Amino acid sequence: MPSSPPSHDVARDLLRIGAVELRPSDPFTWASGLRSPIYCDNRLTLSEPAVRRRLTDGFAALVEAHDLAPDVVAGTATAGIPHAAWLADRLGLPMVYVRASAKGHGRGNQIEGRLPEDARVVLIEDLVSTGGSSLAAVAALRAAGAEVVATLAVFSYAFDRAADAFRAAGVPLYTLTDYPALLGAATEAGAVTEADLATLRAWREDPQAWSERMRGGSGR
C-alpha cells in the first residue's frame, strides 16, 4: 500500500487547483455569517484525477498506519461521499453514507446503504472546522450499532475546539493536511506576504473576534 503523501504536498495540491483560496484583505463570508480570509472547496478535487488518486492513496495509508481495520467505509453527505466511495473501492469494502438528518419520506433513512450491526466503520469527511457535522454523523452511526474507529478528512482548520470535541467523543481524527501545512505551502509558493501570514494566523487564533473586527472595518 502506498505511503501517505506529506501534508505539505496535499496542501500544495489544494492551492494549485483552487480548492483553497486565501484572501486576507478581501475576506469571504461563510454560510454561518463568519468572515474568513480562507475558503475551502474540496469538491474541486473531484475534477482532478491525479489529485483525487493521491487523496485516496493517503486515506488508504492512514487506514493502514493506524491499524483501523474497518468493515465499512462511511461518507458524510455530500462532500465526503465521493472520497468514501473511492476509498471503499480501493480497500474492497462496503460503503454507506450519512445524511445530516433522516429523510422525511420513504424509509426515513439517515444512513444509506447496508450497515451491519457491530461493524467497524471509518468515517470520511472532506473538511473539518468545528467538528460538529462530523460528530453528528458519528452519533448516527453509533445509534445504528456501529463502532466508529476514526474520522479521516482531507483538510482541517486545526482548531483547538475541534480537537477537544473529537477527544470528548472518543473518536480519533486523522487528516491528510491542515491549516498550518497550508500556510507553509502558500509561503513556499509566494502566494502570501508576511502581513498576510500575520492576518491568517490571527484569524485562526480567534475567528469570531477577527470576523467582528473585519465587519467593523478595523481589521483592514
Is 64 within the bounds of a domain? Answer: yes
Report how many domains make up the chain.
1
List the beta bridge partners of residue 112: 97
Q: Can you spell out the DSSP letters for 5-43? A: PPHHHHHHHHHHTTSEEE-TTS-EE-TTS-EESEEE-GG
List the beta bridge partners of residue 95: 73
How crowded is residue 132: how many other Cβ atoms within 10 Å of its Cβ?
12
Task: Output the domain CATH number for residue 128.
Answer: 3.40.50.2020
For the stretch 83-100, pLDDT in tens is 999 999 999 999 999 998
For the stretch 93-142, pLDDT in tens is 999 999 988 765 666 689 999 999 899 999 999 999 999 999 999 999 99
What is the rounded average pLDDT of the residues 187-194? 94
Q: Could you tell me the residue range of the domain that residue 82 belongs to?
A: 7-216
Backbone angles phi, psi at 89, to 5 degrees: -65, -45
As a whole-number percent, the residues of the chain with pLDDT over 90 amount to 86
Is 139 within the bounds of a domain? Answer: yes
Is 129 within the bounds of a domain? Answer: yes
Is 35 within the bounds of a domain? Answer: yes
Is 192 within the bounds of a domain? Answer: yes
As a whole-number percent, the residues of the chain with pLDDT over 70 amount to 93
Which pTM value belongs to this model?
A: 0.92
Tell me the residue ranges of DSSP E strands in 83-171. Answer: 95-98, 111-112, 120-128, 147-156
CB 86 within 8 A of CB 63: no
Determine the Cα–Cα distance for residues 190 and 98; give it in Å rounded to an integer: 39
Is 184 within the bounds of a domain? Answer: yes
pLDDT of residue 101: 85
Determine the Cα–Cα distance for residues 156 and 61; give it in Å rounded to an integer: 18
Is 177 within the bounds of a domain? Answer: yes
For the stretch 12-29, pLDDT in tens is 999 999 999 999 989 999
Closest to 90 measured CA to CA, from 140, 124, 117, 44: 124
Q: Is 181 helix (H, G, I), strand (E, B) or coil?
A: helix
CB 15 within 8 A of CB 191: yes
pLDDT band at 5 (very low <50, low <70, confident <90, very high): low
For the stretch 144-167, pLDDT in tens is 999 999 999 999 999 999 999 999
CB 205 within 8 A of CB 199: no
C-alpha cell at 118: 457491530
Q: What mean pLDDT, rounded, does the chain reach? A: 92
Does the pLDDT value for residue 81 go beyond 50? yes
Block residue for cell numbers 481495520: 69
| Dihedral sign for Cα atoms in the order 65, 143, 94, 45 | negative
What is the rounded average pLDDT of the residues 71-89? 97
